[in-house]
Structure 1
């Protein structure tokens, strides 16, 4: 196939799950022998184009990944212009679009005879608002939600979301929970909605105890037990502040416990301050942004991965990566996290925001090393059977082939 992918952000712009997903599906399709061209917004350093691992990426000048109303309009104009130019020169077979990146390129809007497969990395609009509201804990945050986030969602995001769902020839949700969230709001989407679990590189993310030991040594935690890890962008809705409180309580029971926090973001300073005020200085390491190739070293340094998120997740990659490294996952049961682990087999669920339950689940594992070892083995097995990049990409290609055939029948 000759595949064009639209994404307003890549890992050159941001370090998030959608950006990683974009790289995995594009490189995965290229590795399978398909031609892949990725269109995205202007490179932060002004780079016009690059080719890497079989993927040709074009950065469109005159656009910006911030996706304000103004920049969203520019993206629609510039990306459709470039798509028409490329399609005329070397016809694409299918268009893949990440999230809301491609609704303006549907056949009915663009006039292009090109089937559109849209990948929804998150839930519907209501659950997106729920995620934003879950982070509210002060009067100021409530005001921001009411005055800024809610109006923007209703006036701009909701119409964009509707047009995205309506214009796609096929929709892919990354978990059953996300699929159900979208169908609950847009019932007409059911007939073209598919569920394909996120995949991760199970060759990169694998058990590697020596790499973990080197990471512990780097942070002065050699010989520490148990070690917990939290990872991701440090936003309030990710619940890292709740994870810190759970860790404080674990330390009350097990004085040798240590915590690694891999990631950066707007909450880092407040989390560092909270760590000190909670008496955790010297027991928590804020590791900052960790490049993707180095992340397995951090998973391998821990005994347990903790995901205290308050966000209605699509299908969190961090949990899948931890499983692939053979680490049990203790996670909030919200959105697509419900499709990461099997409760009691390779981790535990707890109610979002329930620090008591979060603490208890962790302590239960630390009190029974046989259970911890059994869950570790089960974690790796689950990742291999359910969440590989190869399995994900094969499903994308299968769905695309069906859509291409159906689309030809309508011409």
Structure 2
């Protein structure tokens, strides 16, 4: 169970609500773990299904829920999207669902990712198969989503899709910004764009946070690229304060990545893909950063604009960002740092 979810459940319990949480086994049974607090009405009661620690088994959790619901029916039931099989949820009353990406957003994501393919390269059979599967899922979602009493979308764009395409009544759609961590295909895009950028501007540096198969490829670009590996939340705070601009070249429009918000709270300009979830919820003003279409040429053009502005102009943006009050996450993606000549 994620920390922000437990914080929400605890806040509800402290307001007098009887909150039950059905989840996977927790890491350990130390006094800091929530299940040790179930005797107090100030905390939610945690029901962990059997099995491996941290491994979600949906059917096992539903068995625990059914047993508790039979003993004393719940007034309100909330499901995360990963726990909402329609065959199990369709008969529940007073049900609200948090949607961490819907099928229509997945279809949009697949389209954007295929656009990065060279026009002379054949379309992969797997992509063709995924299109068929996603379109079928969109139709199924449109049909059964109306059975849910309330829908909680984690981005403004997802909320608009639920209202305008899925035709869910406006009063039943609620937008609560949240974060996601997706592994996608932005590495080649960033690699190609930055290799062209440093060929023209010798005072620009790229700093990559995280680990993965692209680590060695980035190092091939030379001494102006640093791959720092994984970082703790304390280290990330210092890191955000050290960089000039944050780059988030995601190719997945669904959900909402909180890392740009984290950078903005540190007073940094953001360079991000022009997706509705980002344009409508994060970079709502040009002063907050730069946007680009999800391709190498557009990312390079936005990066060139950052270089033309220079560190002094970027520093002036800091006052705007500092006025924002946004939540932080514990994730980071890619950043690049520019020094004075």
**TM-score, length basis structure 2:** 0.75
Q: C-alpha distance in 2, partners of 1:173/1:303?
A: 32
2:96–2:151 Cα contact (<8 Å) kept: yes
| The one of 302, 315, 323 aligned to 1:381 | 323
1:153 alignment counterpart = 134
| The one of 295, 299, 314 aligned to 1:372 | 314
Please state if 1:181 is matched with 2:124. no
1:5 alignment counterpart = none
**TM-score, length basis structure 1:** 0.64
Q: Return the offset for 1:341.
A: 1.6
Task: Tell me: CA distance 1:108–1:350, structure 2 relative to 1, closer, same or farther (3 Å).
Answer: closer
Within 5 Å, give how 1:320-399 maps onto structure 2: 320-338=261-279, 339-353=281-295, 354-365=298-309, 367=310, 369=312, 371-382=313-324, 384=325, 387-388=326-327
1:234–1:263 Cα contact (<8 Å) kept: no
Please state if 1:78 is matched with 2:60. yes
| The one of 46, 49, 72 aligned to 1:60 | 49
| The one of 10, 26, 30 aligned to 2:10 | 30
Q: Return the offset for 1:132.
A: 2.2
Task: Tell me: CA distance 1:262–1:337, structure 2 relative to 1, closer, same or farther (3 Å).
Answer: same
1:272 alignment counterpart = 215
1:328–1:375 Cα contact (<8 Å) kept: yes
Task: Note the alpha carbon deviations across 1:29-72, whole angstroms, 9 max, x for none.
Answer: 414625544323466x798x9417956544423699899xxxxx
2:219–2:226 Cα contact (<8 Å) kept: no
| The one of 117, 122, 131 aligned to 2:109 | 131
Q: C-alpha distance in 2, partners of 1:93/1:164?
A: 22
Task: Tell me: CA distance 1:50–1:57, structure 2 relative to 1, closer, same or farther (3 Å).
Answer: farther
Q: C-alpha distance in 2, partners of 1:233/1:306?
A: 15
The CA RMSD over aligned residues, in Å, is: 3.7
Structure 1: unaligned runs, 5 residues or longer: 1-9, 11-21, 68-73, 201-231, 390-411
Q: Return the offset for 1:316.
A: 1.6
Task: Note the alpha carbon deviations across 1:336-355, whole angstroms, 9 max, x for none.
Answer: 01120233212111222123
* Greater fraction of residues in helix: 1
1:50–1:57 Cα contact (<8 Å) kept: no
